[in-house]
């Protein structure tokens, strides 16, 4: 499974966009990029995933570079409730187990 690299922590001001980077330079052509987040003492929550194209849903946007070696999760208007650990995961197309790294601890401040 391809490995991901994320900064251990980031701060963001409330109401501003939070841009969380992820490097996955060894990703294969058929592997998906997934993002989950985990708020303290809760199970991980699915955010978004993509293969090649940029994706957007009600929670976030996912920007994947053309060479697919990195991606950015964008929370357009961060709130205090977005404070969490964010995990970027590269997932094989079949089988489906998720390999979590250390993630990025995002702190949204007033």
Partner 1 sequence: GAGVSQTPSNKVTEKGKYVELRCDPISGHTALYWYRQSLGQGPEFLIYFQGTGAADDSGLPNDRFFAVRPEGSVSTLKIQRTERGDSAVYLCASSIGTSGYNEQFFGPGTRLTVL
Q: Which residues bind partner 1 (CB under 8 A)?
A: 30-32, 34, 42-46, 49, 51, 85, 87, 91-103
* Cα–Cα distance measured from residue 56 to residue 61, given in angstroms and rounded to the nearest whole number: 4
In angstroms, rounded to a whole number, what is the distance separating the alpha carbons of residues 14 and 6? 21
CB of 18 to partner 1, least distance (A): 19
Q: Given the complex with partner 1, which of 17 and 99 has the nearer CB atom?
A: 99
With respect to partner 1, which residue has the nearer C-beta, 81 or 94?
Answer: 94
| Shorter beta-carbon distance to partner 1: residue 8 or 110 | 8
DSSP 8-class letter at 82: G
Instruction: Return the sign of the alpha-carbon dihedral for residues 78, 68, 37, 45.
Output: positive
């Amino acid at each position: 499974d391809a490995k991901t690299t994320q900064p251990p922590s980031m701060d963001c001001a409330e109401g501003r966009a939070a841009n969380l980077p992820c490097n996955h330079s060894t990703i294969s052509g058929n592997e998906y990029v997934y993002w989950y987040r985990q708020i303290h003492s809760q199970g991980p929550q699915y955010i978004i995933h993509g293969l090649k194209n940029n994706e957007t849903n009600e929670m976030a946007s996912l920007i994947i570079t053309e060479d697919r070696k990195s991606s950015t999760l964008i929370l357009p208007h961060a709130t205090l409730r977005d404070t969490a650990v964010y995990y970027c995961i590269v997932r094989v197309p079949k089988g489906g187990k998720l390999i979590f790294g250390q993630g990025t601890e995002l702190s949204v401040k007033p």
